[in-house]
């Protein structure tokens, strides 16, 4: 069972991917890349979003609603050295779909096929990531047929419709149904993969080649190792400790400082602080079960401490307060 990490705007930047690499996913993706900005050679897109040390282990995802922009952008990504390029057909955000991109591509089968036909021999591994539905479109099977027709690297389905955004629950029955259709391409599932036990339950009776972890790894890269371990052995040996969490947060913060400077780092680390530490103030977690994912540590005042660190504007004070937790 392969474990990939998803492309997430504002999350899977170079600094966080350096953290994720330590937990050995089978493959990583950069942030989503806007085809229009890429074709205009936007500095931020090329120098920040696409910053990458190892393009053999890191791919990228492109989004757009224009046929020519998508084709040109994919060719640029290939020329930049990326060997795995994913076409985003799942993003539910209104600002994305209003331009015909993301999950809006689900209703534009002909455009998608034109793009795949044009790029099928460029020498890169092309894949698509879709949602289960978009408005009146409720036929994801046709994109599995398309993936087979053009021998795509893989197809990934997120078991929500565009309308659901990230609310409700992902429908893993749809994922299971599609995964068991005969195919010539790899099939990945995605959606609501937050804990090793629930991951195992969701993928039971599916014919998956892998899963793609997304929101579940924000502040919890341990999920990569724990999910792999639990799927193989039914046990978890590598638990998350409080001291290890502090150390990783400091490393993540220093990565951002190095790559984006102190001013951005002070702000950008904030989105990760609660996710990194929240398990240690959640009194409802079972820390003593056979499949515990964290050490038996609990601090009821930790949330208040983290909120104060989030408000801290100085980089040295921020580092010092994290060290003192």
Whether residue 215 is annotated as binding a ligand: the answer is yes
The answer to whether the beta carbons of residues 269 and 253 sit under 8 Å apart is yes
- Of 91, 157, 224, 227, the active-site residue reads 91
Phi, psi of 73 (to 5 degrees): -65, -40
Identify the helix (H) or strand (E) that includes residue 12.
none
Structure tokens at 192: 């609501």
Whether residue 92 is annotated as binding a ligand: the answer is no
Whether residue 162 is annotated as binding a ligand: the answer is no
Whether residue 240 is annotated as binding a ligand: the answer is no
Whether residue 158 is annotated as binding a ligand: the answer is yes
Structure tokens at 120: 């099928």
Whether residue 129 is annotated as binding a ligand: the answer is yes
Whether residue 8 is annotated as binding a ligand: the answer is yes
- Cα–Cα distance measured from residue 128 to residue 182, given in angstroms and rounded to the nearest whole number: 17
The question of whether 91 is a catalytic residue gets the answer yes
Q: ∠172-29-92 over CA atoms, to 5°?
A: 50
Helices (H), the chain: 14-21, 35-39, 43-44, 67-79, 94-97, 109-119, 141-149, 172-179, 196-203, 222-233, 242-260, 262-268, 270-277, 302-311, 315-323
Q: What is the number of other CB atoms lying within 10 angstroms of the CB of residue 165? A: 12
* Residues with a known catalytic role: 91
- Residues within the annotated binding site for FMN? 7-9, 61, 129, 158, 214-215
């Amino acid at each position: 069972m392969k474990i990939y990490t998803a492309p997430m705007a504002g999350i899977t930047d170079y600094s966080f991917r350096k953290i994720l690499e330590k937990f050995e996913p089978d493959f990583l993706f950069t942030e989503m890349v806007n085809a229009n900005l890429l074709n205009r050679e936007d500095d931020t897109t090329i120098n920040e979003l696409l910053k990458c040390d190892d393009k053999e282990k890191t791919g990228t995802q492109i989004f757009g609603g224009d046929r020519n922009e998508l084709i040109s952008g994919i060719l640029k990504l290939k020329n930049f050295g990326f060997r795995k390029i994913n076409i985003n057909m799942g993003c539910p955000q209104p600002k994305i779909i209003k331009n015909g991109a993301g999950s809006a591509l689900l209703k534009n089968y002909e455009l998608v096929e034109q793009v795949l036909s044009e790029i099928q021999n460029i020498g890169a591994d092309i894949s698509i990531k879709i949602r289960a539905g978009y408005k009146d479109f409720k036929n994801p099977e046709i994109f599995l047929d398309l993936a087979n027709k053009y021998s795509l690297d893989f197809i990934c389905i997120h078991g929500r419709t565009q309308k659901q955004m990230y609310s409700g629950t992902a429908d893993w029955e749809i994922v299971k149904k599609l995964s068991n259709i005969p195919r010539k391409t790899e099939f990945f599932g995605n959606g609501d993969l937050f804990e090793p036990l629930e991951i195992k339950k969701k993928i039971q009776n599916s014919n998956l080649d892998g899963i793609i972890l997304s929101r579940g790894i924000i502040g919890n890269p341990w999920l990569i190792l724990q999910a792999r371990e639990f799927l193989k052995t039914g046990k978890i040996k590598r638990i998350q400790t409080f001291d290890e969490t502090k150390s990783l947060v400091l490393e993540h913060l220093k990565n951002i400082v190095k790559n984006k400077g102190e001013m951005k780092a002070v702000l950008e680390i904030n989105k990760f602080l609660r996710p990194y530490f929240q398990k240690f103030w959640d009194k409802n977690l079972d820390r003593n079960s056979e499949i515990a994912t964290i050490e038996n540590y609990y601090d009821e005042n930790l949330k208040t401490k983290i909120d104060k660190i989030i408000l801290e504007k100085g980089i040295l004070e921020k580092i010092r307060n994290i060290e003192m937790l």
